Structure 1
Amino acid sequence: MRTVRDAAFDVMRHHGMTTIFANPGSTEVALLADLPDDLDFILALHEGSVVGAATGWAIVRDAPALVLLHTTAGLGNAVGALATARVNRAPLVVLTGQQDRRHLAQEPFLAGKLEGLAGDYPVRVETPLRAQDVPGAIGRAAHAARTQRGPALVIVPMNDWAEPADDLPIPAPATLRQATAADPESVAQLAHLLHGARSPALVAGAAADTAAGWEALTALAERLNCPVWQESFGARAGFPQQHRLFAGHLPADRARLRDTLAPYDVVLAIGAPMLRQYAYVPGPLVHPGTRLALVTDDPNEAHRAPVELAVVAPLPALCAALAAQVPARDQAPEIPERAQPPAPPRPGEALRAAHVLAALAERLPADTVLVEETPSSRPDLHALIPARQPLGFLSAAMGGLGFALPAAIGIRMAAPHRPVVAVVGDGSSLYQIQALWTAAHYGVGAVFVVLANSRYAIMDRLAEKQGGKAPWPAFEEVSVGSLAEALGCPARQITHYDNLISELDSLVTTFETRAEPLVLEVVVEPDPTFQP
């Protein structure tokens, strides 16, 4: 007898979801026992690590990754990571177990109220009305995850897998296609706006971070011969950051933002939220006379944008069509000078994050995927390590901690030919430190550079800005390297610059080929000049 489980596996295969990222419980055993040989199972020791690794995998593959979570506790533990996946626009299909539907009405042990547990972060939530609807629900979730760019949740009662399957050959659309052409009228409106500009500028965002996006946006920027800024708090690089027209990263407070954009009369954001902010500061985003426009493939992003013109369209196609319509500009733009790396520390001088990042910048291959989660060092990282290829930079768009370690693991699994380096603070690493077990167990050759200052440095600075004293202590007792080794992951502690250079020089030839993870715990002093 062909079962719902058999039909579900066929749907998973059809959508390329043959790797299952999971931390299962008893409500999922019926699906997983005697898993077919063509399906791979990846275990992580916490649901945040499960979703984080799947998010990295999905971003690299640009296709839905399959996540399996255990009823209420599992889904509840994963909500923060699912929120990050949604804002990072990572397509995930999330299967969550439920108690046997034959006695759900009595709310038995492990029954969960699951439909609203993840809030509005899933792009779709479905509890199939009957067991035979499960395969179709998985297919619908795959389409929703791909087209709406986020996690789609399917809740499956544990007895459904063994029920007889329907004889429907295609329980959901086998193929779903979206238009890839740009609307000529929209292109003409944008071209008219740019044609009249005296001093235009572009803002590149995470959604442009594809090979086609970089190529089309570069052609447009070179046609306009204008500066290209990176969105603030961008989760990915939308433009080659070593390019002569790259101007840097926009500030995230309005006063500095207004000053930064003051020279421009037209600012066009492409694949980015329109001038995303952090702390609220009164006043307009830009000075009077600066006109704002947006191109995005996310309708919700367009709906909330404070612009005079917002266009929802496929980004590469629209940029290419726009480059063909705007006249070439000869006027040389003013591009801010790039930050210079700091000199190596003098004997007796404290090792700082900028020294580590400058040393990394000299040694990382151009195709490295750099995963960032070090809030107090992010400005130095942006200034010193440009993204030179698509997917050269990745961070958590939501801003929550616990993303970088598992995401780096999923990325390296999905792209074993690319070097993957995660740069994280020691405080950040502790949110998903158990992800290192997965890296060690499955032989994932990612490198984790942990900048260890034994405190929440950015929180300390924020408390100082408020004029108060932070009530939280430092955590000098914590050794990230020891925790890594306890989880089976090799680790080395570095306290001096010469040791750092020696370690990095020995790693240079292994970044692409290594089959073992490594944690470099680098002891650094906080930068007293850093201001969040």
Structure 2
Amino acid sequence: MGTVREATFDVLRRHGLTTIFANPGSTEVSLLTGLPDDLRFVLALHEGSVVGVATGFALGREAPALAVLHTTAGLGNAVGAIATARVNRAPLVILVGQQDRRHLALEPFLAGRLAGLAGDYPVRVDQPVRAQDVPGAVARACHEAVTGRGPALVVVPMDDWDAEWAEDVVAAPTRVVRPAGVADADLAPLVTLLSGARAPAIVSGAGADWGSLVTLAERLGCPVFQESFGGRAGFPQDHPQYAGVLPADRARLRAVLGAYDVVLAVGAPVFRQYPYVPGPLVAPGTTVVVITDDPSEAHRSAADLAYLASPAALCTRLSALLPAPGPPDAASVVEGSAPTIGADGVGLPPLPVGGRPLRAAHVLHELALRLPADAVLVEETPSSRPDLHRLVPARNPLGFVSAAMGGLGFALPAAVGLRMALPDRPVVAVVGDGSALYGVHALWSAAHYRVGALFLVLANGRYAIMDRLADQRGGKAPWPPFTEVDLAALARSLGCPARKVDGHAELVAALEEVVPTLAAREEPLLLDVDVTVDPDFQP
């Protein structure tokens, strides 16, 4: 005999969900008060940060993370972060508090109409019919989050936690096994297609497995592009076959892929775009194949052939079935190769006399010179993203992590969660000042829980990408700059150490001091770096 709360805690332990990310409200007090010693509570100061930190934790662990939200207000505040978690393939279990079940029919204060509030972004939303169904609903949410690669929500009325638990059955399996084998007969059409290809290419995405994709790319001897707006690097960006980030509009996409007769998208949709440009995605004569374990990604991709399967298992078996490669098509590889800038800085904009004002490229170049290969890098700097792609190659699968949804407020909390999940890995968030303001409250969690991440803010005092988009339309932007904002001061007010940096010498000195300490660091640091907008930047 026990309570629903105690039975649910047993489910959480069984699934490794012993860290609870939350910003509590009154409807969650009965769950959270007097937690057992083996359950860790992590406070974030806003629900967007709650889900953002949990998302980073899930991505770092490659396992579900647990978040608790407060009825309508908490879930509403977190919807953008829930959408990001879904598009970033982060498995989350989210418990949402609700008013007391015994008078919900009267819609009392804090009662929420919660089932559809997060739209279609959750992979499942469950409102258990009885209090005694809550433990099974939470166990099912764990499985649904992994299978659906996204957030699974369970809405729990506040009185359910104290209800008596005397059930014999939890309505969910203890363990789910997901076989990943791929039959040779199913691969035969793809083997035939690639064996006869004159010039194949690969587009890698966040769902790709690095080891098997490297083997396949080397077997084919072909260039590998990174999907545009991807949530994670899909291929080592220092590999000689890496060809850069795919353009995000149809005209440039056709130009880049026009040299290839077979394009294989692995762990990526076909193809992520931003501006609408009429015309087909690829030129006539190019066959497109997609390999993904995400059903919606497979079903919406404009491909000639789609495989809904484990990319790792499929690429591994495909490499074994393909014939030995012939001589590489050197011309196509050179044409698609990613631009690079050497350690001497050739190709960078000239450094001004006195070392200021800096451009984002100067900052990223100095970071790249010092960043270790195992570093986790979280990006949220839209106006500097092309420079980051060009200057800071991802050398491990978390060497580039970004909000694939496109909304702001991801990087700071995600970096906190990633560092919590990977306490021995260097973690750096490269963030614009406009982006940082959407998640700045996460710095308190970083400081309080001694999360030794580096937050590198590229501060230009404006929404530079929006300014440039307005310029392209030939109109005047109605929004002003926000040069009064002082991110270093905001960070310090939240307990996070911070420094202002406005010149090259100060930047180099700070990075030389801090970057070598990142793997062992227990104290966060924010570097607020003044940069000027690149006049040649094109969104």
Tell me whether the two structures share a fold, i.e. TM-score over 0.5: yes
- In the alignment, the residues of structure 1 paired with residue 452 and residue 339 of structure 2 have an alpha-carbon distance, to the nearest angstrom, of 32
Aligned to 2:375: 368
- After superposition, what is the alpha-carbon deviation per residue over 1:257-278, rounded to whole angstroms, capped at 9, x for unaligned? 1111111011010000112111
Alignment partner of 2:133: what SS? Answer: helix
- After superposition, what is the alpha-carbon deviation per residue over 1:113-170, rounded to whole angstroms, capped at 9, x for unaligned? 1111111111001111011000000001000001111000000000000011132254
Aligned to 1:39: 39
1:270 pairs with 2:266: yes
Aligned to 1:346: 352
- Within 5 A, what are the aligned runs for 1:361-510? 361-510=368-517
Aligned to 1:159: 159
Aligned to 1:286: 282
Alignment partner of 2:353: what SS? Answer: coil
The answer to whether the Cα contact below 8 Å between 2:436 and 2:457 also exists between their aligned partners in 1 is: yes
Alignment partner of 1:390: what SS? Answer: coil
- In the alignment, the residues of structure 1 paired with residue 439 and residue 352 of structure 2 have an alpha-carbon distance, to the nearest angstrom, of 35
Aligned to 1:302: 298
- In the alignment, the residues of structure 2 paired with residue 273 and residue 392 of structure 1 have an alpha-carbon distance, to the nearest angstrom, of 21
Q: CA deviation at 1:343?
A: 6.0
The answer to whether the Cα contact below 8 Å between 1:271 and 1:315 also exists between their aligned partners in 2 is: yes
The answer to whether the Cα contact below 8 Å between 2:65 and 2:91 also exists between their aligned partners in 1 is: yes
- Pair 1:337–1:67, CA change in 2 (3 A): closer
Structure 2 counterpart of 1:338, which letter? P
Structure 2 counterpart of 1:3, which letter? T
Q: CA deviation at 1:185?
A: 2.4
Alignment partner of 1:269: what SS? Answer: strand
The answer to whether the Cα contact below 8 Å between 2:25 and 2:70 also exists between their aligned partners in 1 is: yes
Alignment partner of 1:206: what SS? Answer: coil
The two structures, once aligned, show a CA RMSD in angstroms of 1.0
Structure 1 counterpart of 2:509, which letter? S
- After superposition, what is the alpha-carbon deviation per residue over 1:232-290, rounded to whole angstroms, capped at 9, x for unaligned? 11110111110010011001011111111111011010000112111100011111111
The answer to whether the Cα contact below 8 Å between 1:58 and 1:91 also exists between their aligned partners in 2 is: yes
Alignment partner of 2:203: what SS? Answer: strand
Alignment partner of 1:235: what SS? Answer: coil
Q: CA deviation at 1:338?
A: 2.1
1:516 equivalent among 501, 507, 523: 523
- After superposition, what is the alpha-carbon deviation per residue over 1:434-456, rounded to whole angstroms, capped at 9, x for unaligned? 11000000000000000000000
- In the alignment, the residues of structure 2 paired with residue 242 and residue 519 of structure 1 have an alpha-carbon distance, to the nearest angstrom, of 28
Structure 1 counterpart of 2:465, which letter? I
- After superposition, what is the alpha-carbon deviation per residue over 1:96-120, rounded to whole angstroms, capped at 9, x for unaligned? 1111101111111111111111111
- Within 5 A, what are the aligned runs for 1:118-133? 118-133=118-133
- After superposition, what is the alpha-carbon deviation per residue over 1:33-72, rounded to whole angstroms, capped at 9, x for unaligned? 1100000000000000000000000011111111000001
Q: CA deviation at 1:171?
A: 3.5
The answer to whether the Cα contact below 8 Å between 1:186 and 1:311 also exists between their aligned partners in 2 is: no
- In the alignment, the residues of structure 2 paired with residue 329 and residue 507 of structure 1 have an alpha-carbon distance, to the nearest angstrom, of 47
1:526 equivalent among 513, 525, 533: 533
- In the alignment, the residues of structure 2 paired with residue 299 and residue 140 of structure 1 have an alpha-carbon distance, to the nearest angstrom, of 19
- Within 5 A, what are the aligned runs for 1:16-415? 16-208=16-208, 213-327=209-323, 328-333=325-330, 334-335=333-334, 336=337, 338-340=339-341, 341=345, 342=348, 345-348=351-354, 350-415=357-422
Equivalent pairs: percent with the same residue? 65
The answer to whether the Cα contact below 8 Å between 2:72 and 2:114 also exists between their aligned partners in 1 is: yes
- In the alignment, the residues of structure 2 paired with residue 465 and residue 106 of structure 1 have an alpha-carbon distance, to the nearest angstrom, of 53
Alignment partner of 1:293: what SS? Answer: strand
- In the alignment, the residues of structure 2 paired with residue 508 and residue 62 of structure 1 have an alpha-carbon distance, to the nearest angstrom, of 25
Q: CA deviation at 1:357?
A: 0.2
- In the alignment, the residues of structure 1 paired with residue 21 and residue 326 of structure 2 have an alpha-carbon distance, to the nearest angstrom, of 50
The answer to whether the Cα contact below 8 Å between 1:183 and 1:313 also exists between their aligned partners in 2 is: no
The answer to whether the Cα contact below 8 Å between 2:349 and 2:361 also exists between their aligned partners in 1 is: no
Structure 1 counterpart of 2:440, which letter? I
The answer to whether the Cα contact below 8 Å between 2:444 and 2:496 also exists between their aligned partners in 1 is: yes
Superposition TM-score, scaled by structure 1 size: 0.98
- In the alignment, the residues of structure 1 paired with residue 100 and residue 326 of structure 2 have an alpha-carbon distance, to the nearest angstrom, of 66
- In the alignment, the residues of structure 1 paired with residue 128 and residue 514 of structure 2 have an alpha-carbon distance, to the nearest angstrom, of 50
- In the alignment, the residues of structure 2 paired with residue 458 and residue 264 of structure 1 have an alpha-carbon distance, to the nearest angstrom, of 32
Q: CA deviation at 1:337?
A: 5.2
Alignment partner of 2:532: what SS? Answer: coil
Deviates more, 1:253-262 or 1:443-452: 253-262
Alignment partner of 2:27: what SS? Answer: helix
- In the alignment, the residues of structure 2 paired with residue 34 and residue 344 of structure 1 have an alpha-carbon distance, to the nearest angstrom, of 59
Structure 2 counterpart of 1:411, which letter? L
Q: CA deviation at 1:344?
A: 6.0
The answer to whether the Cα contact below 8 Å between 2:459 and 2:530 also exists between their aligned partners in 1 is: yes
- Pair 1:126–1:337, CA change in 2 (3 A): closer
- After superposition, what is the alpha-carbon deviation per residue over 1:394-441, rounded to whole angstroms, capped at 9, x for unaligned? 000100000000000000000001100000000000001111000000
- In the alignment, the residues of structure 2 paired with residue 277 and residue 101 of structure 1 have an alpha-carbon distance, to the nearest angstrom, of 45
Q: CA deviation at 1:311?
A: 0.5
Structure 2 counterpart of 1:47, which letter? E
Q: CA deviation at 1:372?
A: 0.1
- In the alignment, the residues of structure 1 paired with residue 18 and residue 455 of structure 2 have an alpha-carbon distance, to the nearest angstrom, of 27
Structure 2 counterpart of 1:477, which letter? E
- In the alignment, the residues of structure 2 paired with residue 288 and residue 171 of structure 1 have an alpha-carbon distance, to the nearest angstrom, of 52
- After superposition, what is the alpha-carbon deviation per residue over 1:305-328, rounded to whole angstroms, capped at 9, x for unaligned? 111100111111100111111122
The answer to whether the Cα contact below 8 Å between 2:132 and 2:167 also exists between their aligned partners in 1 is: no
- In the alignment, the residues of structure 2 paired with residue 337 and residue 367 of structure 1 have an alpha-carbon distance, to the nearest angstrom, of 21
- Paired residues in the alignment total 528
- In the alignment, the residues of structure 2 paired with residue 101 and residue 311 of structure 1 have an alpha-carbon distance, to the nearest angstrom, of 45
- In the alignment, the residues of structure 1 paired with residue 154 and residue 435 of structure 2 have an alpha-carbon distance, to the nearest angstrom, of 30
The answer to whether the Cα contact below 8 Å between 2:357 and 2:530 also exists between their aligned partners in 1 is: no
Could you list the runs of 5+ residues in structure 1 that have no partner in the other structure?
none
- In the alignment, the residues of structure 2 paired with residue 400 and residue 249 of structure 1 have an alpha-carbon distance, to the nearest angstrom, of 20
